[in-house]
A and B are shown apart, each in its own frame.
Chain A
Amino acid sequence: MAKAAELPLTDAARADARRLRVHGSSWLWVGGGVAFALAALLTGIVVGPAPIGIGAIVESAASNIPFLGLHSHLSASDSAIVWQLRLPRVVLGLLVGAMLSCAGATYQGVFRNPLVDPYLLGVAAGAGLGATLMIAYAPGQAFNGDLLPLAAFAGGCGAVVITYAIGRSSRGTATLVLAGVTVTAFLTAIQTFVQQQHTDTLQAVYSWILGSLDTAGWHDVLLLLPYAGVSAVVLLLHRRVLDVMTLGDEEATALGLNVGRIRVLLVAAATLGTAGAVAVSGLIGFLGIIVPHFVRLVAGSSYRIVLPLSILVGGGFLAFTDVLARTILSPAELPIGVVTAFFGAPFFAVVLRTARGVGP
C-alpha cells in the first residue's frame, strides 16, 4: 500500500500554484542575456584594426540573401577580413566563453563550492601537457592541421580520467578535489620538464597557455561545435538535478538521486566541453568563476537560471574581451587570458567580499 499522503488542496492553493513558477521574471534576464550576446557579436564584427564601415558590412551580408539584388562593395581583402577572420573569431569567442562559464557553473554545483573553476580536476594541466608534447615533438604538424587541438583535447580528458581513478570515493568530493590538485601538479611538472628540454618551444607554448583567439577560423569553430553542443545540452538538461544537488549528498540521495552517477555524468559532460574549448583557444582563466557568480548576484541562484544565463553572459563577455584584446594595443594583440584576468581579478575580489551572502 503506497497511498500518498493527502494534503487538503484548496481552490486558492490551485490558483496560487502558478506563483510558484519561480522563473516568471527569469525570461527578462534571458532576454537581457541574449541582447548582451548579440551586442558582443555585432561589436566584434564591426570593430577591428582595419577600418570597415558598418554600412558596408551590412550590405555585404545582405548581398547573400537572394532576390534582394544587393551587391557587396567590400574589397576582396576587406571581405575576407570580415567573413573569414572577424566573424569566426567572434563566434569562437562566444562558444568558448559560453562553454567555460557553463562548465564552471556546473562544477560549482557539483562540488558545492563557489570557488571552483572548470580546470579544477586537471583539464588545464592535461591540455597544456598535450599541447607542449605536440609542439616539442611534432612541431611541423602542431601548427598546421588539427593535431594540436587533438593532443590538447586528449590530454585534458585524460587528466580528468586519471583524477577520477585516483580520487573517486563514496564519501563526498574532497578526495576528488585533492586528486585533481595532485594530477595538476604532476602533469605541470612534466610539462615544465619537456619545455626545459626544448627551449625553442618556450615561446610557442607560453603564448598557447595565455590563450588566444587570433588564429581562429571557421575550421576551429566547426571543431569545437559538436563538443560544446553536446556538453551544453547535457548540462542544461540537468538544471533541476543540480538544484537538488545543492542540498548535499545525503539529502539528495534521500530524495531519490544516485549522486555518484550524476556527478560522473556532469563532470564528464563539462570536461568534454572544457577540453574542447581549451583545445582550440588555449587556457582562458577566470571566466569559469566570475560569470556564474555575477549571474547569481543579479538573477538568483537556481541553476535553472544560472546555467542558461551563464552561457549567454559568458559568451558575450569573452567576445567583448576579445574586442578589447585586439584593439587596446592595436595592431598588436594582447593575450586574451591577460584581459580576462585583468578585469576578472578585481571583480572576483568584490565577489569574495560579498560571498557570505550568496552560496552556490
Chain B
Amino acid sequence: MKHLFVSLLAALAVGIAASAVSAPAAVKYPHRIISLSPTATEDLFAIGAGKQVIAVDNQSDYPKSAPKTSLSGFTPNVEAVVAYHPDLVVISYSPKGFAGALAKAHVRVLLQPFAVTFKDAYAQMLQLGKVTGHLKEATALVARMKARIAKLVAAVPRKALTVYDELSPDYYSATGASIIGEIFKLFGLENIADAAPGAGSSGAVQLSAEYIVSESPDLIVLADTRCCGTSRATVSARPGWNTISAVKKGAIAVIDDSIASRWGPRLVNFVNAVASALRTTQK
C-alpha cells in the first residue's frame, strides 16, 4: 500500500512539474488595437497591422477602410474606450491623465506624441512595428520613404529660395522646429517664419501680413485649404499679396490639411507637393 501511495505522489509531482514547464510561450501580439491618433492609424495600416485594429478615432479619415468610430482622441472617454476591451491603445495626446486612467483599467497604452523631426516620426513607425509584430514591414516602409524623399529632393536643383507655409488664414506659419520646417531645409529653402523670435522652440508662430508681403517669399505652401476655404485664388486676392513673388509666379503649393498636420507615411506626399511647386518656379 505504501508503495502505491508514493507512486501516486511521484506521478502527481511529475504531472505538476510538466504542466509548469508547459508549451513554449507563444508571443501574443495585440489584435484588439484602438488608435486614437490619426497618424498612428495611418502608420498601423501602412505597416500591415490594419487587421489587428478594431477601432480608430473620429478624426482618423485615412485610410478610408479604417474602422472609424465616434471615439475622440481629443476629449477621450476612458469608459468608452475600455468598453471595446482593447489590448492596446495608441494615443498621441493624453489630456488630464488619460494614459494613467487607462493603465488603471489594465489597458496597455502607447503614447506617440506629435513628432518634431523625421527621426521621431520614423522611430514611431518602427515602434509600432515592433509592438504589433510587423517590424519587418515597418523597417521596409521607413526605407522606402527615405529613398523616395531623397529621390524627390535630388530631382529639384537647389536654389536659395524663401518659403512661407500657412497653417491658418490669420498667418500662423510652421517654423524650422517642425517636420515641415525640416522638409523645407531638405530643399535648401529658407523659411521666413524662422526670423520670428520664439521660432527656434515653437513649431508655429503667427506672422503679420506686412512681413509676409515685404519678404515676398518665392514659394507659398497652403495647409489651410480644407479647414478654412483658402485657395490659390483667395490668397492672390489678399490686399497687397499680388506683389509677392510666389503669387506672381503661381508657385503656390496646396497640401491637404490632414497631410500637413500628421507625421505618417504621407509625409512623402508633402515632399512631393513641395517639389512640384518648386519646379514651377524654375520655369
Residues on A lying within 8 angstroms of B by beta carbon are 48-50, 75-78, 80-81, 84-86, 88, 139-144, 196, 199-201, 203-204, 207-208, 212, 214-215, 217-219, 326, 329-333, 335
Contact = CB atoms under 8 A, between A and B. Distances in A.
A212 B170 contact: yes
B229 A141 contact: yes
Interface in B169-190: 169-172
B155 interface: no
Contacts of A332: 196-199, 205-208
B209 A48 contact: no
Contacts of A139: 227-229
Closest CB pairs A-B (n = 4): A80-B240, A50-B214, A140-B229, A331-B211
Contacts of B168: 203-204, 207
Contact of A331 (B170, B208, B239, B243): B208
A49 B210 contact: yes
Contacts of B244: 77
Contacts of A141: 229
A39 B202 CA distance: 35
Contacts of B62: none
B280 interface: no
27 contacts: A78-B214, A80-B239, A80-B241, A80-B243, A81-B210, A81-B213, A84-B239, A139-B228, A141-B229, A142-B228, A142-B229, A143-B228, A144-B230, A196-B74, A199-B72, A200-B227, A204-B227, A207-B206, A208-B170, A212-B170, A214-B170, A214-B209, A326-B210, A329-B198, A330-B196, A333-B171, A335-B206
Nearest to A212: B170
Nearest to A51: B214
B216 interface: yes
A315 to B, nearest CB: 20
Which of A208, A214, A333: most chain B CB closer than 10 A? Answer: A333
A332 B175 CA distance: 11
Given A50-B214, A204-B228, A215-B170, A333 B240 contact: no
Nearest to A204: B168
Contacts of A335: 206
Contact of B208 (A199, A203, A219, A326): A326
A77 B214 contact: yes
A326 B205 CA distance: 13
B211 A330 contact: yes
B9 interface: no
A248 B40 CA distance: 65
A251 B171 CA distance: 54
Contact of A49 (B74, B170, B205, B214): B214
A353 to B, nearest CB: 35
Contacts of B169: 143-144, 215
Contacts, number: 117
Contacts of A49: 208, 210-211, 214
B216 A77 contact: yes
B195 A331 contact: yes
A77 B207 contact: no
Given A50-B211, A77-B244, A329 B196 contact: yes
B269 interface: no
Q: Which of B169, B197, B199, B227 has the most CB of A within 10 A?
A: B227
A3 B205 CA distance: 74
A84 B198 contact: no
Contacts of B198: 329, 332
Quick one: which of A144, A196, A215, A219 has the most chain B CB within 10 A?
A144
B213 A333 contact: no
B75 interface: yes
Give the interface centre of A139, A201, A332 by most chain B CB atoms within 10 Å: A332
A178 B203 CA distance: 43
Contact of A85 (B59, B75, B195, B209): B209
Given A77-B216, A332-B196, A50 B170 contact: no
Nearest to B240: A80
B213 A85 contact: yes
B204 to A, nearest CB: 9
Interface in B222-259: 227-230, 234, 238-244
A81 B170 CA distance: 17
A196 B170 contact: no
A333 B207 contact: yes
Nearest to B206: A333
B229 A144 contact: yes
Contacts of B211: 49-50, 330-331
Contacts of B192: 331
Contacts of A218: 239
Given A140-B228, A331-B196, A50 B210 contact: yes
A95 B242 CA distance: 27
Nearest to A218: B239
Contacts of A143: 169, 228-230, 234
A331 B229 contact: no
Interface string B107-149: 0000000000000000000000000000000000000000000
